[in-house]
Amino acid sequence: MIKMSGKKDRLVSNVCMFPDNPKQYTPDSLDNCAAVSRYAYFKNYVMTKSSQLQSSDYRSSTYDKLAKEKGFIDFFSDTRDGMIYLPKGVVVRVAVHEFVEAIIRDEGFVKLDLPTLFTVNETDLEEITRKFGDRVMGTSIDDKTYLKYASDPVLFAYLRGRKIPHELDPLRIYSPDKIYRNELSGEVDKFERPRMSYIEDYHIFTQDWKSVIKATNSMNRRFMDGLCDEWYVSCDVDKTFFEQNQDFFRGLISSANRPFLFNVLSYVPNYYTFEFKYSYLRSDGLPLIISNLQMDELNAKRFDIKVGDKHAYIIHGNATGRMEKVFIPLFDQALKMQKKGKKPALPLWLSPTQVRIIPVNNGFVEYCANLSEQYQEHNIRVDIDNRDFGLNKKIKNAEQEWIPYVVIIGQNEVQNRNISLRVRNEGEQKTSTDQSIEDLDAKLSGFPKVPTNIPLFVSKQTDLSFR
């Protein structure tokens, strides 16, 4: 295993840079910067990142307990900390994946489905694998065959010795998949560091790294805007490279219209020259890295991958980090809402059930079933509470499940051809089905409408918690 010194040993300085502001600020001088007030919590984010306040003992138990309580996920010992996506969780995972893939597709990426296993027979693979040390999961096949811990070893070995034509520069490759890492027992975290997880990996091979980084940073911003309310960017960068490319970084910040924190290092011991980290700021003030973006000048030489006659720059990225981690900002934002006196809620596009129709009694179930078809025609996820409960209990259950739209149907609604609608955190109203669908379509614009495998009737739904 390669031993590396910690980041603190290599840190030269922390530099904050703002759009349309030529000055550079240290964390201690941020009070002298008028621009900092325009970016909520940025100072707290900077102070946290620069002082490395995040404890290595932190675990995401608050969020995995909440996700389990709400019926999104489960765990059991026979899978050695593997997470089970229950029907609600499957909707979230598929929706996030389709959101990422739609953006990736817009950017012109080709998609590859890479093998799960790889065999280390060449020096280049041995070098790239060795940096993961004991975290690489072996197999019973032989002592040289491993489970994929990222796309890198398989993709780079596949492209070994190839010359990418200039007309294909930049070559963008998207390879989402499950990965396996033998995390140490004390480091395993159900959301942040599981041994088995799903990643949204991508790589770009180019000679024009500046244009690609600028475009890919914009792409990552779209990912983050869709998942998080408050997020910030930090960059670990080699000191000499940072000094030589001031104009590039300044232009990147201006185009992003967002402040950056640079961790300027005496040297970068890994394969990348710099790495952008896109972090969500949790309600406890600690940052959680979601996306990342790296520029790699080493591995194209290691695997002899060229664009034209020159070794390529490889731009690595991951849209969501480990997919399980996405549950943290989703539930943390709900907790933030609660602290502000609002009802906790997931984003509408990620709510497993977007509309619940509640008949005041079961004599209206058939009418509700016909009504549900209108929502389904617009790919809106809908269910019907047909259980033998009173109206108040059904409404309370919908509240506890954080259902964003609740439609109540009784005799008045049937006679008047309207609906009684409760929109979470917005109140009650009388409206038409068509108007509610128009409202939902507007709010869901730009996000995927994924189908659901959750049964239409609540009486048939289960989170498999029965014994």
DSSP assignments along 351-362, one per residue: -S-SEEEEESSG
**What is the reported pLDDT for 242?**
94
Q: How far apart are CA 428 and CA 406, in angstroms?
A: 9
Q: How far apart are CA 76 and CA 60, in angstroms?
A: 17
**What is the reported pLDDT for 94?**
96
**Model-wide pTM > 0.85:** yes
Total residues belonging to the chain = 467
The segment(s) of the chain belonging to CATH 3.30.930.10 are 7-333
**What is the reported pLDDT for 303?**
97
* Tokens 């409404």 sit on residue: 395
Q: What angle do CA 224, 98, 272 make, to 5 degrees?
A: 50
CATH topology for 348-460? Rossmann fold (3.40.50)
Q: How far apart are CA 109 and CA 172, in angstroms?
A: 5
- What is the enclosing helix (H) or strand (E) of 94? helix 87-106
From its phi and psi, is residue 11 left (phi > 0), alpha (psi between -120 and 50) or beta?
beta
**What is the reported pLDDT for 4?**
34
**What is the reported pLDDT for 60?**
62
Q: How far apart are CA 35 and CA 41, in angstroms?
A: 12
Cβ atoms of 410 and 362 within 8 Å: the answer is: no
Cβ atoms of 454 and 383 within 8 Å: the answer is: yes
**331-347 residue pLDDT tens:** 999 999 999 999 999 99
Specify whether domain 7-333 bears CATH 3.30.930.10.
yes
- Provide the strand spans (E) within 148-195: 163-164, 171-174, 177-180
The helix/strand/coil state of 398 is helix
Beta-carbon contacts of residue 77 (< 8 Å; ≥ 6 apart): none
**What is the reported pLDDT for 219?**
94
Stretches in the chain below the pLDDT threshold 50? 1-5, 52-58
**What is the reported pLDDT for 1?**
23
| CA atoms 453, 458, 463, 466: torsion sign | negative
The segment(s) of the chain belonging to CATH 3.40.50.800 are 348-460
Question: Exposed, middle or buried by CB within 10 Å (0-12, 13-18, 19+), for 8?
Answer: exposed
How far apart, in Å, are the Cα atoms of 131 and each of 134, 140, 154, 283?
Answer: 9, 21, 15, 34
How far apart, in Å, are the Cα atoms of 183 and each of 149, 200, 364?
Answer: 11, 20, 53
